[in-house]
Chains A and B, each alone.
Chain A
Amino acid sequence: MSAETRTSPDEVRTALDDVYDPELDRSVTELEFVDDIEITGRSVSVSLRLPTGLCSPSFAWMMAADVRDAVLDLPDVDDVTVSLRDHVHDEEITRGVNDGASFQDVFEDAEADLEELRWTFDHKARLGRQHDAMTVLLEEGVDPHELVAITHGDVRLNDGVATVSVDDRSVSVPAEPIDSYLEKVDVLGIDASPDAPFFVTPEEEAIPPTEFESVRRLTRLSSVNMDGQAHECSLLLEARYGD
């Protein structure tokens, strides 16, 4: 027992920082969906709670499964149990996810293809994150026609700073929004070779300068929608579990 290395609650929590609610594009830790973490030797139990007992079972399932995978990836963990509490389908989801079953096995009536659902919400998250990444560059004085001409080869990330070559100059902005945008570019398999356009239309093509405004409206909308929904969920969580 004494020779055994254990993981710590902090390590588990850090791993869970990377698990996102796909619909809200926010981390489950930030959203306060992680109710409790218990560590016994090399076994970890995580319990989750959601803003309502009627939250979409498909998203609840994805989060529970992602939590399980993220904790299992920790070096000092052999065994993970995830429990979803206070949900109309808490027992089915808890059992199914821990058994490694598929969503369709457990919910026979469900037509949901979780992979398709993931793509849809990764796509929406990409638009929202693209909006934020563009915003920091616009605020640094990069013009719309310059923005649409940036390629992946023009962007370098280093020590928390993104340096972008624009025309004959170089612009530095915080790396965070750029980096989080690139995560979704990667997940969606959008072309990120050096000559490929850095920002793309919803259809994942280069943005013609004349289309800049309309693309910008769409990305703003995606960001407003996800952010609005995140606020609604946090208010509901507060109404449900707050004092």
Chain B
Amino acid sequence: MYTHDGEDIFVLDGHVHFWNAREENVIHRGGDQFIEEFFNGHEMFTPEELRMDERTFRRYTKERFVQDVFVDGYVDVGMFQPTYLKAFYENGFNTVERCSELAETYPERFVLNGWMDPRDGEEGLEYLEWQKETFDIQGVKLYTAAWNGDSKGYRLDSEMSYRFLDKCEELGIKNIHPHKGPTIKPLNLDAFDVTDVDEAATLYPDLNFIVEHSGVPRLDDFVWFASQEENVYANVALIAGFAYKRPKKWKEIFGELLFWLGEDRIIYGSDYAICHPKNIIETTLDTEFTEEEIAEYDAQFDLEAKKKFLGENLAELYDIDLEKRAKAVQNDEVSRTHGLEQTYEDAEFDWVKAGS
């Protein structure tokens, strides 16, 4: 919960991780390079007093996660966006199974999303079914630029992918989270391409496409088609890290998202542990647009917009009753262990969206 100008705001973080990149899990040179790049990102996006050392960063504990995200970071509920990278890490980097350890320890505190890779064919479809049965997933993460066997990436606007989207519809997994952002080994032109989401979103109007990292470094291509597709959303994970060292840049990017997508389609995500929710939320919520900027972006980032951004937009896509969730977390293990019960008891959430 974040209190802004005396108003209590419920925080649903749309993009958190619980990974394992310890040496003993690394099976390919890429695994070390990958986590080193992440650590560089951590140093550039996270204020020093909130940072981890490199060893801790490779595999932080459940306790550290809880302290950073739920105690210091104002987050009430976090959503896992798994990333497999099985070519680099023996047991995967950040799998559904691994994330479920935390999600099962603190069930009120998490939304556990699944993972799919259309190149896995039948096996991949079965894995999707298994995740639905086992964890009742409502959303699925995918990474079109990931390598898999001989493939150096795939497109969402392909028959192969549509088979998987059909399966998502059939299973009632209605939230699709394509990673469209910085890329591991961007060998091909398509690695950063965002436009494949366009046709998929048109063909599957009942699914929601939440584009993780808002397409950056292709923000321009992303917002251009997103502005025309009502079921496409922008998650600001990682790019919100600009709030720390380049707050003006962050304001500009945020302004563009507001202009092209509007306040109902922008979703907060920290990308913890690269970024820390505490400084992102503080800086973003303190963003005030001048009269000139309001005219320029044809939008205001007022209290209502801030509430939607921090949780209500995403809760709506997942049919999460935030009123109920707020009561559920009030006395859960995290709240009891860290003395948060009274804070929740005293909280007054004035919800913006009906039904949340």
Q: Which residues of A contact B (CB under 8 A)?
A: 23, 52-58, 88, 107, 109-113, 116-117, 124, 217-218, 220-222, 224-225, 227-229, 231-232, 235-236, 238-240
For residue B186, give the distance in angstroms from its CB to the closest CB of chain A.
4
Min C-beta distance of A13 to chain B, whole Å: 27
Chain B residue nearest in CB terms to A235: B44
The interface residues of chain B lying within 8 Å CB-to-CB of A238 are 44
User: Given the complex of chains A and B, what is the CA–CA distance between A21 and B256 in angstroms?
Assistant: 24
> Which residues on the B side are within 8 Å of A124 (C-beta)?
220
Q: Is A239 a contact partner of B223 (Cβ separation < 8 A)?
A: no
Give the residues from 27 to 82 in chain B that come closer than 8 angstroms, CB to CB, to chain A. Answer: 30, 33-34, 36-37, 40-41, 43-45
Query: Shortest Cβ distance from B297 into chain A, in angstroms?
Result: 10
| Inter-chain contacts of A57 with B (CB < 8 A) | 186-187
Cα distance, A70 to B310, chains bound together (Å): 49
Q: Is A239 touching B184 in the complex (CB atoms < 8 A)?
A: no
User: Is the beta-carbon distance between A217 and B259 smaller than 8 angstroms?
Assistant: yes
Any A CB within 8 A of the CB of B230:
no
Contact of B353 with A by CB under 8 A: no
18 residue pairs bridging A and B, Cβ less than 8 Å apart: A56-B186, A56-B187, A110-B188, A112-B188, A116-B189, A117-B189, A220-B256, A221-B223, A222-B220, A225-B217, A225-B220, A228-B239, A228-B242, A232-B217, A232-B242, A235-B45, A235-B245, A239-B41
A109 to B151, CA, bound (A): 9
List of B residues within 8 angstroms of A111 by Cβ: 188-190
Residues of B within 8 A of A54 (CB): 33-34, 37, 183-186
Chain B residues within an 8 Å CB radius of A110: 152, 187-188
Residue B22 at the A interface, CB < 8 A?
no
Tell me which of B89-97, B136-144, B246-254, B344-352 binds A: B246-254
Instruction: State in angstroms the CA–CA spacing of A222 and B222 once bound together.
Output: 11
Asked if A239 and B40 make an inter-chain contact with CB atoms under 8 angstroms apart, the answer reads yes
Closest to B250 in A: A228
Known contacts A232-B216, A239-B40; 15 further A-B pairs (Cβ under 8 A): A55-B186, A56-B191, A57-B186, A109-B150, A109-B188, A116-B189, A221-B219, A224-B253, A225-B218, A228-B216, A228-B239, A228-B252, A231-B242, A235-B44, A235-B245
A84 to B: closest C-beta gap in Å: 15
Q: Mark B181-215, 1 if CB is under 8 A from A, else 0.
A: 00111111111100000000000000000000000
Q: A23 CA to B189 CA in the complex, in Å?
A: 12
Q: How far is the CA of A100 from the CA of B223 in the complex (A)?
A: 38
Instruction: Identify the closest chain A residue to B151 (Cβ).
Output: A109
Q: Do A240 and B40 touch (CB < 8 A)? A: yes
Output the least CB separation between A243 and chain B (Å): 12
A226 to chain B, nearest CB (A): 8
In the complex, are the beta carbons of A236 and B41 less than 8 A apart? yes
From known contacts A53-B33, A54-B37, infer whether A224 and B44 are also in contact, taking CB-CB under 8 Å. Answer: no
Contacts of B150 in A (CB 8 A): 109
